[in-house]
Amino acid sequence: MLTRVFYISEVAEGVTELDVQIVLGVAQVNNRRLDVTGMLAQSDGHFAQLLEGRSDVMRQLVARIATDQRHRSVPTLLQDAITTRQFPRWAMGLIRRDDMAQEMLELHRDGCEHNGQARWMIQQLMAFQPAEECVGPEAGRRDCRKST
């Protein structure tokens, strides 16, 4: 059974852009091995991540993520069974969404009253137009920034 997990966390003090790129590279290798797909969105101060994979793998991965010192407070905002992946070709893609910083802060701080709030956030985070080189196997190797 496939599971989707979505969380928003606070970026720990001192985490640099280089740190994020290293995490992304390691995640891509590990995720391919574990058959996990997803995307990592970064704003000024927060990470939002959507992960997709087998339920047993996701439980272990979420537990490991929760102890990672590069971010603080990692509440799971959505966890549900899925039949198809939203990111079937992304071992892990990175998008920069500074335009969503306030919404990410509020959802992280206040949590979700219902799954609709988390689903809305996922849709908003995905509302970007990646450059052609940021899709497929190349996703995540470049910072896929929203065009303005």
DSSP 8-state symbol, 30: H
User: What is the model's pLDDT at position 93?
Assistant: 85
What domain count does the chain have?
1
Q: What is the CATH number of the domain that holds 13?
A: 3.30.70.100
87-126 b/e (C-beta count within 10 Å ≥ 16 → b): beebbbbbbbbeebeebbbebbeeebeeeebbeebbebbe
Cα–Cα nearest to 36, from 46, 20, 18, 49: 49
Q: Provide the Cα torsion 116, 108, 51, 16; round to 10°.
A: 150
Please give the chain's pLDDT, 148 residues, in tens: 899 999 999 999 999 989 999 988 999 999 999 999 999 999 989 999 999 999 999 999 999 999 988 888 999 999 999 999 998 888 888 888 988 999 999 999 888 888 888 988 988 888 764 443 344 444 443 444 333 3
Q: Find residue 8's DSSP bridge partners.
A: 48
Q: Which domain holds residue 114?
A: 2-145
Contact 112, 78 (CB under 8 A): yes
User: What is the model's pLDDT at position 128?
Assistant: 63
Q: Find residue 40's DSSP bridge partners.
A: 49, 94
Question: DSSP readout, 95-140?
Answer: EE-GGGHHHHHHHHHH--SSHHHHHHHHHHHT-----GGGSGGGBT
Alpha-carbon distance values, 91 to 25, 78, 85, 121 (Å): 10, 20, 11, 21
pTM beyond 0.85: the answer is: no
